[in-house]
Amino acid sequence: AQSVAQPEDQVNVAEGNPLTVKCTYSVSGNPYLFWYVQYPNRGLQFLLKYITGDNLVKGSYGFEAEFNKSQTSFHLKKPSALVSDSALYFCAVRDGGNFNKFYFGSGTKLNVKP
């Protein structure tokens, strides 16, 4: 069975500091991984994806994510956080056996303080 874990309900970081939001996954077969961001009263917006290739993936708004196969992790990172990055972040995996199915983590609330 496919699953995604986001071990931190909340991450607090000061503006200008680097941020990391953690995600680990469990899949049978190849992992197809995604990060989404949700602002208040809005739907989820796509940030970046890992399908194959380089382990460091770059996405929107200066975010990047590092895929680590041995640790089954796909952590979201940004070198310098902005207050406007404060939002709810979801990691997701697409089922390699049935591309129609997605599995989401429980979400991590990122708070960036000025």
Partner 1 sequence: EAQVTQNPRYLITVTGKKLTVTCSQNMNHEYMSWYRQDPGLGLRQIYYSMNVEVTDKGDVPEGYKVSRKEKRNFPLILESPSPNQTSLYFCASSPHTGVDSPLHFGNGTRLTVT
Contacts with partner 1, residue ranges (CB under 8 A): 4, 6, 9, 32, 34, 36, 41-46, 49, 51, 90, 92, 94, 96, 99-107
Q: How far is the CB of 85 from partner 1 (least distance, A)?
A: 19
Q: How far is the CB of 19 from partner 1 (least distance, A)?
A: 20
Cα→Cα distances 9→22, 32, 43, 96, 100, Å: 10, 23, 19, 27, 27
Judged by beta carbon, residue 80 or residue 106, the one nearer partner 1 is: 106
Q: Torsion-angle region of residue 26: left (phi > 0), alpha (psi -120 to 50) or beta?
A: beta
Cα→Cα distances 78→24, 83, 86, Å: 18, 12, 12
Q: Cα separation of 22 and 30, whole Å?
A: 19
Judged by beta carbon, residue 43 or residue 114, the one nearer partner 1 is: 43
Q: How far is the CB of 105 from partner 1 (least distance, A)?
A: 5
Q: How far is the CB of 63 from partner 1 (least distance, A)?
A: 14
Judged by beta carbon, residue 78 or residue 94, the one nearer partner 1 is: 94
Ordered alpha helix ranges (H), 1-114: none
**Pairing state between β 3-5 and 32-38:** unpaired
Judged by beta carbon, residue 42 or residue 113, the one nearer partner 1 is: 42
